[in-house]
Amino acid sequence: MTLRGTPVPPISPPSVTTGENGNYPRKRWTVEECRFLQNNGLLGDGRYELIEGDIVFKMPQGFAHKTSVTLLIAALANVFGALHLRNQADFGVGLRDPNNEPEPDVTVLQGTARDYGRREPLPEEVLLVCEVGASSLAGDLSVKAGIYARQNLREYWVLDVDGRELHVFRAPQNGAYISHDTLAEGDTIFPLAAPNAAINIADLLP
């Protein structure tokens, strides 16, 4: 079968997961399947992430979220250079994990934009990955932390806009981060990949 000239990839069968009221079949989507759906217009015009096999549609960003992403980009560009940053784009997690393709708010890469003109960055080329948490805060602190730890990403930040603090995850081991620190608005963070660069948490918040 083809749709719009694109061969239909093999569709994986539902798995069984335990819910509050018993066992229900659950379809865990793969990156390949989601790209097929998107390329053929079956996911609409909305933006989505693939998280643990679930297609999660992104909610429109509020003013505080947009402002914090802009401030985060500005602060990290001062440290690493703008061409080393990616904004709301995947970075190749799906190459090794077929059920996940997150799009973090900001990613800092070893290479510059031109280095990735023909390929996805590999997880080991990621220096820092950042999420701005609002409605997604609980998932950012738990589910996404697990996804990034399984990829051995050395450092993961979650900026809690409402709580006005920064969660810093480091030292991935066996699929989890050993270190989780919470920094307040008046604190300063020194990125692992740029240990001499000081970033004030207050400069990241609206």
**32 lies in the same domain as 74:** no
Q: pTM for the whole thing?
A: 0.83
pLDDT tens-digit readout, 57-68: 877 777 888 999
SS3 label, residue 123:
helix
pLDDT at res. 95: 63
**118 lies in the same domain as 16:** no
Work out how many domains the chain is built from and give that number. 2
pLDDT at res. 93: 64
pLDDT at res. 11: 56
Query: Which CATH number does the domain housing residue 80 bear?
Result: 3.90.1570.10
Instruction: Output the six-digit token pair for 23.
Output: 């066992």
**39 lies in the same domain as 83:** no
Strand-pair category, 2-3 with 48-51: unpaired
**120 lies in the same domain as 180:** yes
**23 lies in the same domain as 75:** no
Instruction: Return the sign of the alpha-carbon dihedral for residues 123, 128, 134, 138.
Output: positive
Please give the chain's pLDDT, 206 residues, in tens.
Answer: 334 555 555 555 555 454 555 567 778 888 788 888 878 878 777 677 888 888 888 777 778 889 999 999 999 999 999 999 999 877 766 567 888 888 899 999 999 999 998 888 888 999 999 999 877 788 899 999 999 999 999 999 999 999 999 999 999 999 999 999 999 999 999 999 999 999 999 999 99
**131 in any annotated domain:** yes
Domain that holds residue 108: 63-204
**50 in any annotated domain:** no
**CB within 8 A of 53, min separation 6: which ones?**
26, 27, 28, 29, 30, 99, 100
**120 lies in the same domain as 87:** yes
**10 in any annotated domain:** yes
**7 lies in the same domain as 88:** no
pLDDT at res. 125: 93
**132 lies in the same domain as 199:** yes
Question: In whole angstroms, what is the distance from residue 163 CA to residue 141 CA?
Answer: 13
pLDDT at res. 103: 86
